[in-house]
């Protein structure tokens, strides 16, 4: 699959309604602080995410063999302008799981079976499993769909700055695909990376799913 990089976007692209979109802001330099990258990514994502993009990302995952084989899938419920994966949740034959964010740092993220009747709203505004729902061992997950503000071609993920996923992802079995879900416009050549940052192993965008392999990529 082909990833349309930000640098390949024309100064003015047309959206499906016929209106001319404003040019996307240029990304910061690689050495810029993460706060600058987060501000840039929020602007781009708010402008880029559409219902059509959501559907295209979901369809790319549905067509991807590792996703089709997986029975226990960690998903997320979108927060703000995150890519929405609602189309996946109507599939049968899979069990979907969510993370719960605990207020105390020592608990971090825990895994719970998705139950629409047992959700509550986190203080930041997103839905998550209620505290009373059963905790599932992360080792039971067969594929993890990971949100983020922006990703780079080496799998580096930039989140909201709390480090929850960086502490959680190593709890998955090593062979489990960690799939960063984003848009082509939010995949950049290189992001600043700290030693504690845990990269994803695949990227899923509206163009398809590709694997991260060391310093290079292979398309799938």
pLDDT in tens, 71-89: 999 999 998 899 999 999 9
Tell me yes or no: is domain 53-215 CATH 3.40.50.10420: yes
Entry pTM: 0.86
3-state per-residue secondary structure call for the chain: CCCCCHHHCCCCCECCCCCECCCCCCCCCCCCCHHHHHHHHHHHHHHHCCHHHHHHHHHHHHCCHHHHHCCEEECCCCCCCCCCCHHHHHCCCCEEEEEEECCCCCCCEEEEECCCCCEEECCCCCEEECCCCCCECHHHCCEEEECCCEEECCCCEECCCCCHHHHHHHHCCCCCCEEEECCHHHEECCCCCCCCCCCCCEEEECCEEEEEECCEEEEC
**Residuewise pLDDT in 10s, the chain (220 residues):** 334 444 344 333 444 444 455 688 899 998 999 999 999 999 999 988 899 999 999 999 999 999 999 999 999 999 889 999 999 998 778 999 999 998 766 678 999 999 999 999 988 788 999 999 999 999 999 999 999 999 999 999 999 878 899 999 999 999 999 999 999 999 999 999 999 999 999 999 999 999 997 644 444 4
pLDDT tens track for 79-130 = 889 999 999 998 778 999 999 998 766 678 999 999 999 999 988 788 999 9
């Amino acid at each position: 699959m082909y990833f349309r990089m930000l640098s390949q976007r024309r100064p003015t692209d047309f959206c499906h309604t016929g209106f001319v979109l404003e040019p996307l802001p240029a990304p910061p330099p690689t050495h810029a602080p993460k706060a600058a990258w987060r501000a840039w990514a929020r602007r781009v994502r708010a402008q880029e995410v559409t219902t059509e993009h959501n559907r295209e990302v979901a369809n790319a995952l549905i067509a991807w063999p590792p996703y089709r084989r997986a029975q226990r899938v960690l998903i997320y419920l979108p927060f703000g302008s995150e890519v929405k994966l609602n189309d996946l949740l109507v599939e049968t034959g899979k069990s979907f799981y969510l993370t719960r964010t605990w207020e105390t740092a020592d608990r971090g993220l825990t895994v719970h079976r998705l139950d629409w009747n047992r959700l509550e709203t986190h203080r930041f505004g997103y839905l998550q499993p209620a505290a009373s729902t059963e905790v599932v061992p992360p080792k039971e997950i067969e594929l993890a769909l990971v949100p983020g503000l922006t990703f780079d071609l080496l799998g580096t993920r930039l989140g909201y700055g709390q480090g929850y996923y960086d502490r959680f992802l190593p709890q998955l079995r090593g062979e489990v695909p960690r799939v960063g879900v984003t848009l082509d416009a939010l995949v950049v050549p290189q992001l600043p990376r700290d030693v504690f940052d845990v990269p994803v192993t695949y990227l899923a965008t509206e163009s398809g799913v590709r694997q991260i392999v060391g310093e290079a990529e292979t398309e799938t």
